[in-house]
Amino acid sequence: MITHKDQLELFQLISSQLDQNVECYVFGGTAMMFYGYKGETKDIDLLFQNISAREAFMDALRKLGYSESSPLTIYIPEKLKDKHAPIMLKRDESRFDLFTDKIFQTLLSQKMKNDLFAVHEFKTKHTLTMKVLRTEFIVMLKSVTERNKDFEDILTIVKKDKNFAWDYFIDEVLWQTAQGDGWVLLDVEKMMKELKKYVFIEEKWFKKLYGKDKK
């Protein structure tokens, strides 16, 4: 497990090992730590826009003693068949899940790129730029990744984020579906039904989600 302070030190160290400037999007437990919703995390989920950026990042991780590990016990086997499944690098208790271009079938949309919560730049010789996504996107992506504790994290976000925009969230889910993501709608529906047991979710959001199905 790594704490917020640890992760800042780790990213600074990674940036010192980079051979080029790298930019990535942060969406898992790491993002929640940047928000202050979580004290520690095991997995660091990052999304890169191209393979060369991911390779540069992986090279830096290897220099720090990280090595590839199998995602088999972490993700659902069906999802791992997808060509956009992550590459995992692990060292001791910390693990990096590195995606490129898509998180399984879910695209990095223009909205995700433009509507950021935070940007953290780690500057040494080269710069590691980490763009933290909005909570709505984190919840959507956590619904898609479906790992242990992902639901707990979703619950924490929805409980603590008073400004969680359901409308915005469902719009993005529907947009992703329209772009050909075959999982996001089902995963989000399943998550929302489970979430309803713990927090109040207005019926209209379910209707909005199903409305697209009927079409």
Partner 1 sequence: MKRAEQLRLLEGLHTVETVAETLRITPQAALNLLGKLKKEQQVTVSGGGRRKRLYKITLRKQLPRVPGMFDIINKYSPNFQVNPWYDHQVHGKYGPEEALIDVLQTESFRLILASMHLFNHITDWPKLYQLAQKKDCWQKVGALYDVARMFMKVRKMPEKYRECVKMRWLTLTQLTKKNFPEISKIWKVYIPFNPNDVRQAL
- Nearest distance in Å: CB 114, partner 1: 10
For residue 62, state whether it binds partner 1 (rule: CB under 8 A): no
For residue 168, state whether it binds partner 1 (rule: CB under 8 A): no
Contact 160, 139 (CB under 8 A): no
For residue 137, state whether it binds partner 1 (rule: CB under 8 A): no
Q: Nearer to partner 1 by C-beta: 8 or 74?
A: 8
- Nearest distance in Å: CB 26, partner 1: 12
Distance CA 124, CA 153 (A): 32
Question: Using CB under 8 A, which residues numbered 140 to 159 contact partner 1?
Answer: 159
Q: Nearer to partner 1 by C-beta: 31 or 144?
A: 31
The DSSP symbol for 129 reads E
Phi, psi of 201 (to 5 degrees): -125, 125
- Nearest distance in Å: CB 51, partner 1: 24
Phi, psi of 105 (to 5 degrees): -105, 0
- Nearest distance in Å: CB 97, partner 1: 22
Distance CA 185, CA 169 (A): 11
- Nearest distance in Å: CB 119, partner 1: 5
Stretch in the footprint of partner 1 (CB under 8 A) among 28-36, 76-84, 189-197, 200-208: 28-36
For residue 8, state whether it binds partner 1 (rule: CB under 8 A): yes
Among 5, 39, 6, 43, which Cα is nearest to 26's? 43
Find the binder of partner 1 among 25, 27, 35, 66 (CB under 8 A). 35
The runs of H, that is alpha helices, within the chain are: 4-17, 29-35, 51-63, 77-80, 110-114, 135-145, 150-160, 166-178, 184-195, 203-214
Distance CA 135, CA 43 (A): 17
For residue 36, state whether it binds partner 1 (rule: CB under 8 A): yes
Find the binder of partner 1 among 90, 101, 117, 205 (CB under 8 A). 117
Among 64, 76, 55, which Cα is nearest to 12's? 64
Residues that bind partner 1 (CB under 8 A): 4, 8, 11-12, 15, 34-37, 39, 116-124, 127, 132, 159-162
